[in-house]
Structure 1
Amino acid sequence: MTTNPMSFTPPPTAPTTPPAPAGPVAPARAKTPLRIFLTILELAALGVVGSAVFAALAGLFAAGLGLALVFGIGLVILVGLVYAMYGVAWFEVVRADGLYRLGLTRLAFRPQARPGFGGWIAALGRQAIDGRMWRALVNFVLACIAGTMVLRLFWMGIWWAMIAWAPLTGAESVAGPWGGSLTGAWAPVLGILGAAASAAGMIGLALLHRVLTRALVSPSRAAALTEQVRTTSAQREGAVRAADVERTRIERDLHDGVQPRLVSVGMTLGLAQQKIDSDPAAAKALIDEAHTSTKAAITELRQLARGIHASVLDDRGLDAALSALASRSHIPVVLDVRLEPGVTGARAACRDAEAAVYFAIAESLTNAAKHSRASECRVVVRRREGGQLWARVEDNGMGGAQVQPGGGLDGISNRVLAAGGTFRLDSPQGGPTSLEVTVPCAS
């Protein structure tokens, strides 16, 4: 069997990091001097590299505008600028969260609402006007400005400290920091006061940075509640649509498959009943036919029940359920499942996530067997950082798959959305088709 190569590199497996327990307030206060010192060090580092980052972003912006009409080269540069700003904003969120333990969610690039180039352009435009990204960028700019001031205050403090020790050399006057001169008698007092003022200025900038970071990077309570309501509403709508699509599928399978077969069994048994006295051999043949049709109906009902609930998923877990699913597939499936074993009860907390991923993979394999003309499928499942389940299904078929209302892919997206996950489809004409789902585990 000849298969087309499928270019795919599975991501590295990341260990699940349990959330740190919330500590009491007193230890947090005890760590405040260390936190201030770390803030001053980070601000000083940003003061050094900030100008280089600004120069790079400004250069990309100027080059993009200047070359916008030159064969579209400027547009490519502006696209790179959006990604560069996103990278800087992502770094700033991670830096602020690591410094102040704010419990921030990582900045994520806006997902594509629809597949294809148009969906990517729309996602890029939404990212370019993303408010959270711009707030993080503003916080980064203010941190760099504060870092430059911290560096100046540091060198000024060093200068004042040198002035405080200058009378030991026997000089009657000492040069001041602004070109003036100080008498030797006043130099120690003014030097100590100047060094203390410089240190106080650095501490004040660190405290101001903390306040600004909490105001800019941390979402407000109203914004957090609004986002939670929006997410809950989207999950509820996805659950309703998923249930409606599933009900329609069950009705279709019963009406088109099992019901006609059972009607045929009833008619065959009726004919056998009429012929049992006059033609026993024909009646026996009809009964054998009804028996065969009954076993086929039982098989169809078993497959239908498996599509509603996979008992092996509860009994043996996601890995075993996917192995059984791959063995029943009409096309060869390369299965790569790496799930780190968790503590007792961890799988029960992820049951909904495992079910959503399982049915997404099952529907993807069914679609590949029916429509893609693929000769091979590849299924990769990983447990990512934070306990999220990530799965990718890729086939080497002819591509062109689209989400149609009421179709199988629509059912996948609704089920994943109802579980609080994300869904991404990439299926260009000519293939290959890849589908990725990420579903968070319940805590």
Structure 2
Amino acid sequence: MTIQTVSPASAPALAPARKPPLRIFLTILHLAAIGVVGGIVFGTLTGLLATGLGLLLVAGIGAVFLVGLVYAMYGLGWFEVARVSALYRTPLAPLSPQRRNAPGLMGWLRSLGRQSIDGRMWRAIANFTITAVLGFIVLRLFWALVWSVVLSFSPAIAPQGAFEPFGIPGLAAVWSPVTAVLIALFCVAGMIGLALLHRTLSLAIVVRSRETELTERVRTSTAQREGAVRAADVERTRIERDLHDGVQPRLVSVGMTLGLAQTKIDNDPAAAKKLIDEAHTSTKAAITELRQLARGIHASVLDDRGLDAALSALVSRSHIPVQLDVRIDERCSREAEAAVYFCIAESLTNAAKHSRASEARVTVRMREGNTLWARVEDNGIGGAQIQPGGGLDGISNRILAAQGTFRLESPHGGPTSLEVSVPCAS
């Protein structure tokens, strides 16, 4: 299984930041909530780890708990990134799971291993841990604030004696209101300080620095440019091969046939006429091949009538039966539609030539996030692999250049399925 993923170079802008007082209040609420549930979360993670290690040698049952631990940590990291992004109105790319880069069980295990050491996930978990500790302190301060309110009424509760709600021995009731005000101020200041500390730490741990963001954008742009260059090179090679192996020999044959007819036109007109008819037939076949080659370079119907009509025309020319299911309500960008169209066309060509498939199915949908998604599946013998310069290599490079993702699954014995997702605004 081969997967390539490219994230968009820039995240969508969010609404303006909330006013500081409201944001501080929301931060305190976040700290209090995580202070309550933090212990439960880490207790669950610790339980999965202990159970997994304890049962690891018992028929491998512990491995199930360890796998669950990795997915639970990913979920926790995803939640923390989303929480910080929403709380501080900072555009952050959501935490993404590690993709497979090899087929079968080993590919999945490798992706699971990469997920377990994902630095961004661990930074999010570390921030959640710090937040839970700060939240526990906020809860203590809030409890002290409540008691300070009670302490302020101590003259009415114990007018002649001492009141010791904080364990302060011999505190005269007459001094209790002053003490309560000081404690309340300390608690409020402490909660505000912890909220500001949480913001500083979260932005430092979870939010990537500007330099890191720019470096990531440069890396993504470089990968897209290289993919576009490789896709163009693969396409040029394909065109050269089709011209050299198809149209060129046919045109050479037409020229030789017409030359032979020219030598016979005076002595044997009937044979010359037959040769001219043969050359005429070969010429029409060459024109048909040139038209098919032109469709492989650019599908005019794609620009005129859209992806649905272009795929319908493509399926009607397929050498194997194809079930087409297209459900899109609006047009995407020309680059996105062209990338998906040529990927489907190349997949159907491979299915007809190499997979020994008797039927295929093409599904196209518009998914959340304004993403154009397509899946091609055939019932062939499978075993498809990406070879440098091959058709699948051209598909992966074209999708990479369009900022999309490409997924191929083709076990030996079949079936073969190919999925692509391309942003409509690519």
Q: Under a length normalisation based on structure 2, what TM-score does the superposition of the two structures give? A: 0.92
Could you say which residue in structure 1 is the equivalent of 2:28?
A: 40
From 161, 181, 199, the counterpart of 1:210:
199
Determine the structure 2 residue equivalent to 1:59.
47
Is residue 103 from structure 1 mapped to residue 91 from structure 2 by the alignment?
A: yes
Partner of 1:201: 190
User: How has the CA–CA distance of structure 1 residues 316 and 43 changed in structure 2, closer, same or farther, with 3 Å as cutoff?
Assistant: same
CA contact (8 A) 2:15 2:89 kept: no
Identical columns (%): 70
Note the residue ranges of structure 1 that are not aligned, 5 or more in a row. Answer: 1-17
Q: CA deviation at 1:313?
A: 1.6
> What SS class does the counterpart of residue 374 from structure 1 fall into?
coil
Task: Write the distance in 1 (CA, Å) between the matches of 2:321 and 2:247.
Answer: 28
Alignment match, 2:178: 189
Distance (Å, rounded) in 2 between the aligned partners of 1:362 and 1:338: 18
What is the letter of the counterpart of residue 93 of structure 1?
Answer: V
Q: Distance in 2 between matches of 1:197 and 1:416?
A: 58
Residue 298 of structure 1 pairs with residue 287 of structure 2? yes
Structure 1 counterpart of 2:6: none
The whole-number CA distance in structure 2 between the counterparts of 1:57 and 1:211 is: 26
Structure 1 position 325, deviation (Å): 1.6
Deviation at 1:179, TM superposition (A): 5.6
Residue identity opposite 2:26 in structure 1: L
1:395 to 378, 402, 406: 378
Map Cα deviations across residues 55-112 of structure 1 (whole Å, 9 max, x no partner): 1111111222222233222233222221111111011111111111110001111222
On the 8 A contact 2:14/2:89 being kept in 1, the answer is no
Unaligned residue ranges in structure 2 (runs of 5+): 1-10
Matches of 2:130 and 2:29, distance apart in 1: 15
Task: Find the partner of 2:124 among 136, 143, 164.
Answer: 136
> Could you say what the CA RMSD is over the residues aligned between the two structures, in angstroms?
2.0
Q: 1:150 aligns with which of 127, 135, 138?
A: 138
Partner of 1:12: none
Count residues in correspondence. 415
Partner of 2:303: 314
Task: Give the superposition deviation at 1:337.
Answer: 2.4
Residues 377 and 393 of structure 1 are in contact (CA less than 8 Å); yes or no, is this contact kept in structure 2?
yes
Q: Tell me the SS of whatever aligns to 2:58.
A: coil
- Is residue 371–residue 423 contact of structure 2 (8 Å, CA) maintained in 1? yes
1:101 aligned partner, one-letter code: R
- Once residues 239 and 20 of structure 1 are traced to their aligned partners in structure 2, the CA distance between those partners, rounded to angstroms, is 27
Instruction: Report the CA distance shift for 1:258/1:181 in structure 2 as closer, same or farther (over 3 A).
Output: farther
Does 2:302 align with 1:325?
A: no
Deviations 1:332-367 (CA, angstroms, capped at 9, x unpaired)? 22222233427xxxx4xx221221111111111111
Comparing 366-375 with 140-149, greater Cα deviation is found at 366-375
Tell me, in whole angstroms, the C-alpha distance in 2 between the residues paired with 1:328 and 1:180. 93
- 1:405 alignment counterpart: 388
1:412 deviates by 0.8
| Contact preservation (8 Å) 1:425, 1:436 | yes
Flag the 1:163–1:340 CA change in 2: closer, same or farther, 3 A. Answer: farther
Instruction: Tell whether 2:352 aligns with 1:363.
Output: no
Residue 167 of structure 2, aligned match among 178, 181, 184: 178
Name the residue aligned to 2:360.
377
Supply the distance in 2 between the matched residues of 1:414 and 1:53 (Cα, whole angstroms): 42
* Correspondence for 1:232: 221
- The more displaced of 384-393 and 214-223 is 384-393
Cα deviations by residue, 1:251-300 (Å, 9 ceiling, x for unpaired): 11111110111111111111222222222222222222111111111111
**SS of residue matched to 2:181:** helix
**Match for residue 83 of structure 1?**
71
- Which residue of the other structure, out of 250, 254, 260, is the alignment partner of 2:243? 254
Which amino acid in the other structure matches residue 369 of structure 2?
G
CA drift of 1:170 comes to 5.2
Instruction: Report what 2:397 is aligned to.
Output: 414
- What's 1:4 paired with? none
Name 1:169's counterpart in structure 2: 157
Q: Which moved more, 1:132-141 or 1:76-85?
A: 76-85
The letter for the 1-side match of 2:88 is: Y
What is the aligned partner in structure 1 of residue 3 from structure 2? none
Instruction: Confirm or deny: 8 A CA contact 1:176 1:182 kept in the other structure.
Output: no
Decide whether aligned partners of structure 1 residues 35 and 199 sit closer, same or farther in structure 2, where only a CA change above 3 A counts: same
Using the alignment, how far apart are the partners of 2:24 and 2:199 within structure 1?
Answer: 9
